[in-house]
Amino acid sequence: MDERFATALGDAFPDREIAGFADDDPQLNERNGTVPVEFADGERVFCKIAVDGDGGRLDAERAVIEYVDADCDVPVPTVLACDPDAEVPYLVTAPMDGRPLANVKYEADRAGEAAAMRALGRSLAELHDRRFDAHGEITGGGTDGLAVDEKPWIDVFLGGIETIREMAHSERFERYVDDVVAAVEANRETLDAAPATLVHNDPHSANAYRSEAGVGLLDWEFARVGDPARGLHRVREQEFGLFRPDEPDHQLDALREGYRERAGDLPDGYRDRVPIYEAVRLLGASAFFEEKAESADEPPREVAEWMDAEMERRLDAIQ
């Protein structure tokens, strides 16, 4: 096990004995790492560390969790400890009640899948009901409110595209990053007209837990004050694949139905801005082309040819 987790836990809980790590292969990327931990008394927690030493992200995540817990009817994990300035910055949370939505959907019939997605739609609408004066990056705060580095939505969104560039595992379609950035810039007025709401921005079904209280969300690292249309579209982007996806209409319809049940309608301007987000959706796939192509039915060459043509089509739709 990576010694950085032991260092972080020793700092957070100096008087507690660790019985073991529930996973010998922690989730690690260039920025963060997360591992389930069991203490000697049987209590289980999740420990997230900033692999790159930037504890600011973890403090912002802590702030959002505490804010949502106090102000929204959306279940979140309980924060047990957080120190963004520690030798190894960390955030420790308790497990959430319920079951991962991914497992619920996997075991469900068609009606059960729809019910799960409808509940997720309601939770997202509840979250998006928290309005702010301006878009921006969350930098801190807590139960009384969030500290936001205000900036136009397009600038926040372009920052996310740059993160795709930085984290890309494939350079095969790197040329498209600049093309997408230019197309997004051309739609500045459309994007900056979006409402400013709290968005989770990583709401795939492994980050959602279904319980009697509804669908809760964990892993708030990418939360921001952004466009609710983007927040809703992210479910489609994350849940239903990127290479010629055969999208289940009953799940998407149920997601939107649940959203409307809570919000009354889809976000203002949803249909105007989704084509922009669809281009970025494909860009995300291109950044991890080799991994994604392995799951496709066609040979990688054919997938690459399709991706070239599809990206050109999506760019033409928004330029």
CATH of the domain at 252: 3.90.1200.10
Does 9 share its domain with 105?
Answer: no
Do 115 and 175 lie in one domain? The reply is yes
Q: Indicate the residue among 93, 123, 151 that finishes a domain.
A: 93
Q: Which residue carries 């922690």 as its tokens?
A: 26
Q: Can you give the residue range of the structural domain that contains 19? A: 3-93
The reported pLDDT for the residue numbered 125 is: 98
313 and 291 within one domain:
yes
Q: What long-range pairs does 295-301 form, CB within 8 A, spacing at least 24? A: 295/241, 295/243, 296/243, 296/244
Looking at residue 205, what is its pLDDT? 92
Same domain, 86 and 185: no
pLDDT the model gives residue 35: 93
Instruction: Give, rounded to a whole angstrom, the gap between the first and last alpha carbons of the chain.
Output: 49
Local structure of residue 151 (DSSP, 8 states): -
Kindly tell me the sign of the dihedral angle through the C-alpha atoms of 19, 22, 24, 28: negative
**Residue that has been written with the tokens 């996997």 in this structure:** 106
Q: How many domains does the chain have?
A: 2
pLDDT of residue 130: 96
Q: What pLDDT is recorded for position 113?
A: 95
Last residue of a domain, one of 62, 93, 124: 93
pTM of the model: 0.91
Average pLDDT, consecutive stretches of 10 residues, N- to C-terminus, the chain (319 residues): 88 93 68 91 95 95 98 97 97 96 95 96 98 96 96 93 80 84 93 96 94 95 96 90 68 96 96 92 82 78 87 88
**Is 3 buried (19+), middle (13-18) or exposed (0-12) by CB count in 10 A?**
exposed
